[in-house]
């Protein structure tokens, strides 16, 4: 059988040849990339200035001036060093986050189908140039302004430009605008303007390109302002108590300022942005492309997963297994899209006469068809196989026609040229094409859902034949097949509109197509339930087919009755009291998908919705997380989604949810660690004088601790592996605060333990005649490093070796502060000996033990 190596859905007329590749490259260099004005790169000096504008950094700059004025050059050097390091870390984190986001944006950029060197091919939309020939089909986003040269039942949604909600019919000679959406039909258009010269580019030039903070960043910013206020109040208390004990105003001012800066994790917003961006990159490595950064955070709290069937729960590689005609049922054999296989009728091979009605039916399905078959090519797994080009169901019909010995598709189309069509859509549930026969008659080919086609208004058949066909369709659907009804007819005159001929046709029969569940579909849905996520199936298929697949993947038990599957007409008629009580929906419309998502959201649930078609776009946008298929999905679905599955595997959604939980857990872990350390430093400064430690720490020592704890280990915590029990606990409640679910209590407990152990080390050191301030400095630092190791979910894992290495580096720099002469002079420290080191080690062990004991339950589980 002759096959098509390009997408037939938008095959242009022969006179279209498109640009040559050299000419396209020349025009790309001349006109630039087909992109709206990109955000200007932020210069390095602007990033540095933005970091220095931070309120706490400005306070530190004031402290530098103050220490220089009073002649305290040692503290001035330390404070200046902290400013330099903090600013450098902030700038580096910002650049890394921007680069990660830019890489994700490049990966998620849309594609366009164009004609180059007379061959249809897919190119990045950014590489479309004036003069390119665009091939447009249902679900495509128009890549650039263009003029239509061919149009077949073309309907375009221009609402994103005009605000008009009703799609517009487009005829040959009319113009298309960049960014509009093809919702029906197909067309060929020549590009007239790209990039900033297009309608979309002119609008984009008016927009403010500033990036909005994520919801998590806004919540953390609010928390940071509260913490800053409380911290400054406590530092004022430290300042006043120091004056009361006879210390100078300058000394206490510098100490209080340093304490304020050390106590508040001022780099938190940058750490969060980096954690989200790196989390998105890890998701991309696991075949889940995040298109909007806040989705990383939202994924961790998904409670409902609404999934479609074909290609998501099922293989999406369809094969015709049965053809029913009024003369009987024929069984087809074969693998995948191979156009070879046996056909049996009544247990034996059919004769040529017996096969005639099958050939007639499959000839009609081959004509009423926009797909193609691609011959074997070397695949990623080393196997050669036939593959579908276009709709998998239509490709399966072509393979069946070849098995039945029908003429190849190209010959059929030459002999019966298509003159008009009404494409399939989710409302009509049928496709009709008109063809001119060699005798000059008009051949009508129609295929569609049995409940639509098997209607007396369409078929001029006997009532008993229609009744028998409906019964056979119901039996096949109950066995899990996707069923199509096929009809045809002829007429002598050309109708004004092809839909006018959809009556008085002759029923040719039914086609039963198998699309088996994916091997891991049941395990994936079981993993969802284990993670507290409710799976829901929403499909346009027959209710019996939906129920059969749902039972096979564990969404319904085998003993459930038909009543457990709700249909779109049931929803439309108001016969379903509670949409959230249903787990399988069949024959749904786009509006009903939207209603189902909204019902779950109204109950406060966080919904993820999968989809691949134009009709899925509204529901994908309405869901908290829209998930589109990367391989077989339409451009509309991909652009409407928050997450694109590059492998079309539902299990990838579960992996993305796990990654989202990991990111959120790591941010909370960093907050507990950072705020516990800052709180401990304030408590040490408040309680130390009561225990006879007049000025527990100097300003430089406080900032050195802050530098080693937040600067190195804090950033390393963002790369910690996922908690062993992360996918065996319910999602966090949507309204839960960032420090909710016991985080505040753990924070205060750890702060109290670190404070007590470090002050204890200082008091004992003073009693034994050791340099107590240096011992206290080392113990407070060691206690916090013990906490960061104790908070690890997997203590001895080889994942994220950066964390133990950063702790080791902090230990070495702490030792350098005590034994390197320059740092001794700057930080006012002295060697503490083995005894002082032992006291600090005891503080580290105490902090480590407290962190291990206080971990949340899911951190303590073993991997299932």
CA–CA distance, 630 with 618 (Å, rounded to integer): 18
CA–CA distance, 515 with 112 (Å, rounded to integer): 29
What's the alpha-carbon Rg for the chain, to the nearest Å?
A: 34
Query: Please, what's the largest Cα pairwise distance for the chain?
Result: 114
CA–CA distance, 748 with 778 (Å, rounded to integer): 21
DSSP 3-state of 389 = strand
Query: Where does residue 801 rank: exposed (0-12), middle (13-18), buried (19+ CB within 10 A)?
Result: exposed
- Residue 79's nearest CA partner among 257, 242, 270, 240 is 257
Helix (H), strand (E), coil (C) string for 79-123: HHHHHHHHHHHHHHHHHHHHHHHHHHHHHCCCEEEEEECCEEEEE
CA–CA distance, 508 with 694 (Å, rounded to integer): 98
Helix (H), strand (E), coil (C) string for 525-575: HHHHHHCCCEEEEECCCCHHHHHHHHHHCCCCCCCCCHHHEEEHHHHHCCC
What are the Cα distances from residue 206, in Å, to 137, 277, 646?
Answer: 30, 27, 33
Q: Residue written as tokens 């540095």?
A: 48
Half-sphere exposure (Cβ direction) of 815: Cα atoms closer than 13 Å: 9
Catalytic annotation on 308?
yes
Which residues fall within 8 angstroms of residue 755, CB to CB, at 6 or more apart? Answer: 679, 680, 683, 684, 687
- Per DSSP, which regions of 125-280 are E strands? 133-137, 145-157, 168-170, 175-176, 181-193
H-helix segments, 383-456: 392-403, 409-415, 450-453
- The sign of the CA dihedral 785, 791, 795, 797 is negative
Instruction: Tell me the residue length of the chain.
Output: 864
From the candidates 140, 308, 616, 828, which is the catalytic residue? 308
Structure tokens at 314: 């099922």
- The sign of the CA dihedral 840, 841, 842, 846 is positive
What are the Cα distances from residue 10, in Å, to 133, 401, 700?
Answer: 11, 22, 70
Helix, strand, coil shares of the chain, percent, nearest 5, are 50, 20, 30
Which residues fall within 8 angstroms of residue 67, CB to CB, at 6 or more apart? Answer: 73, 75, 76, 79, 250, 254, 699
633 neighbors 614 (Cβ within 8 angstroms): no
Backbone angles phi, psi at 607, to 5 degrees: -105, 140
In this structure, the dihedral spanned by the alpha carbons of residues 550, 551, 556 and 560, taken in order and rounded to 10 degrees, is: 130
- Residue 230's nearest CA partner among 761, 619, 686 is 686
Q: Are strands 534-538 and 304-307 parallel, antiparallel or unpaired?
A: parallel
301 neighbors 734 (Cβ within 8 angstroms): yes
DSSP letters, 246-295, are T--HHHHHHHHHHHHHHHS-TTHHHHHHHHHHHHHHHHHHTTEEESSTHH
Q: Which residues are known catalytic residues?
A: 308
């Amino acid at each position: 059988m002759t096959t098509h190596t390009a997408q037939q859905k938008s095959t242009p007329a022969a006179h279209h040849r498109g640009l040559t590749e050299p000419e396209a490259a020349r025009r790309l260099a001349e006109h630039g990339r087909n992109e709206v004005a990109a955000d200007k790169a932020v210069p390095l000096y602007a990033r540095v200035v933005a970091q220095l504008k931070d309120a706490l950094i400005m306070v530190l700059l004031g402290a530098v001036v103050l220490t220089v004025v009073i002649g305290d050059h040692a503290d001035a050097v330390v404070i200046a060093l902290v400013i330099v390091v903090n600013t450098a870390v902030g700038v580096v984190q910002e650049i890394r986050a921007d680069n990660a986001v830019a890489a994700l944006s490049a990966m998620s950029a849309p594609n366009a189908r164009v004609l180059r060197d007379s061959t249809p091919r897919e190119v990045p939309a950014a590489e479309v140039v004036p003069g390119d020939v665009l091939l447009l089909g249902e679900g495509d986003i128009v890549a650039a302004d263009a003029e239509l040269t061919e149009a077949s039942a073309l309907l375009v949604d221009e609402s994103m430009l005009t605000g008009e909600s009703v799609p517009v019919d487009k005829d040959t000679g009319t113009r298309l605008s960049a960014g509009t959406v093809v919702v029906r039909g197909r067309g060929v258009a020549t590009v007239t303007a790209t990039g900033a010269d297009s309608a979309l580019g002119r609008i984009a030039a008016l927009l403010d390109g500033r990036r909005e903070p994520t919801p998590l960043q806004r919540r953390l910013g609010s928390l940071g302002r509260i913490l800053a206020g409380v911290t400054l109040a406590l530092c004022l208390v430290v300042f006043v108590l120091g004056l009361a004990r006879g210390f100078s105003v300058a000394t206490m001012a510098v100490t209080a300022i340093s304490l304020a800066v050390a106590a508040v994790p001022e780099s938190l917003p940058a750490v969060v942005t980096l954690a989200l961006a790196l989390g998105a990159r890890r998701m991309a490595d696991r075949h889940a492309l995040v298109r909007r950064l806040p989705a990383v955070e939202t994924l961790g709290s998904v409670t409902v997963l609404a999934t479609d069937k074909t290609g998501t729960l099922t293989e999406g590689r369809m094969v015709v297994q049965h053809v029913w005609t009024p003369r009987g049922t024929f069984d087809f054999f074969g693998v995948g899209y191979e156009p070879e296989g046996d056909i049996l009728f009544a247990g034996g091979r059919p004769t040529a006469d017996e096969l005639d009605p099958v050939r007639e039916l499959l000839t009609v399905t081959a004509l009423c068809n926009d797909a193609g078959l691609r011959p074997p090519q070397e695949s990623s797994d080393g196997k050669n196989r036939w593959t579908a080009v276009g709709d998998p169901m239509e490709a399966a019909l072509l393979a069946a026609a070849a098995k039945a010995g029908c003429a190849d598709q190209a010959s059929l189309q030459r002999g019966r040229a298509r003159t008009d069509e009404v494409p399939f859509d989710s409302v009509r549930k049928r496709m009709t094409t008109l063809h001119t026969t060699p005798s000059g008659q008009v051949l009508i080919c129609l295929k569609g859902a049995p409940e639509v086609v098997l209607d007396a208004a369409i078929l001029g058949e006997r009532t008993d034949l229609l009744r028998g066909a409906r019964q056979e369709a119901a039996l096949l659907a109950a066995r899990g097949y996707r069923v199509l009804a096929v009809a045809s007819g002829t007429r002598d005159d050309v109708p004004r509109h092809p839909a006018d001929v959809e009556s008085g046709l002759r029923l040719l029969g039914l086609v039963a197509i198998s699309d088996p569940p994916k091997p891991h579909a049941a395990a994936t849905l079981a993993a969802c339930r284990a993670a507290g996520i409710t799976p829901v199936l929403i499909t346009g298929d027959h209710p019996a087919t939906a129920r059969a697949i749902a039972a096979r993947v564990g969404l319904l038990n085998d003993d459930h009755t038909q009543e457990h599957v709700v249909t779109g007409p049931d929803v439309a008629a108001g016969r379903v009291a509670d949409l959230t009580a249903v787990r399988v929906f069949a024959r749904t419309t786009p509006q009903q998908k939207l209603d189902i998502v909204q019902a779950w959201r109204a109950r406060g649930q966080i919904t993820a919705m999968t989809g691949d078609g134009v009709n899925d776009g509204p529901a994908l946008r309405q869901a908290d997380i829209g998930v589109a298929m990367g391989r077989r999905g339409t451009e509309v679905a991909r652009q409407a989604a928050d997450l694109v599955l590059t492998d079309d595997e539902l299990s990838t959604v579960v992996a993305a949810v796990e990654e989202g939980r990991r990111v959120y857990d790591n941010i909370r872990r960093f907050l507990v660690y950072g705020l516990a350390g800052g709180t401990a430093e304030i408590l040490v400064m408040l309680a130390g004088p009561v225990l006879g430690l007049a000025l527990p720490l100097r300003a430089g020592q406080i900032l050195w601790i802050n530098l080693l704890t937040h600067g190195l280990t804090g950033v390393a915590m963002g790369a910690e592996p996922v908690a062993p029990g992360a996918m065996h606990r319910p999602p966090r409640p949507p309204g839960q605060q960032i420090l909710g679910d016991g985080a505040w209590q753990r924070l205060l407990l750890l702060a109290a333990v670190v404070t007590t152990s470090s002050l204890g080390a200082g008091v004992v050191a003073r009693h034994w005649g050791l340099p107590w301030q240096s011992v206290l400095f080392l113990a407070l630092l060691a206690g916090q490093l013990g906490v960061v190791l104790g908070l690890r979910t997997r203590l001895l894992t080889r994942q994220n070796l950066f964390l133990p290495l950063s702790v080791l580096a902090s230990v070495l720099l702490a030792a350098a502060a005590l034994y390197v002469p320059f740092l001794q002079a700057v930080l006012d420290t002295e060697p503490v000996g083995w005894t002082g080191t032992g006291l600090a080690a005891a503080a580290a062990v105490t902090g480590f033990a407290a962190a291990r004991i206080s971990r949340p339950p899911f951190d303590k589980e073993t991997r299932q």
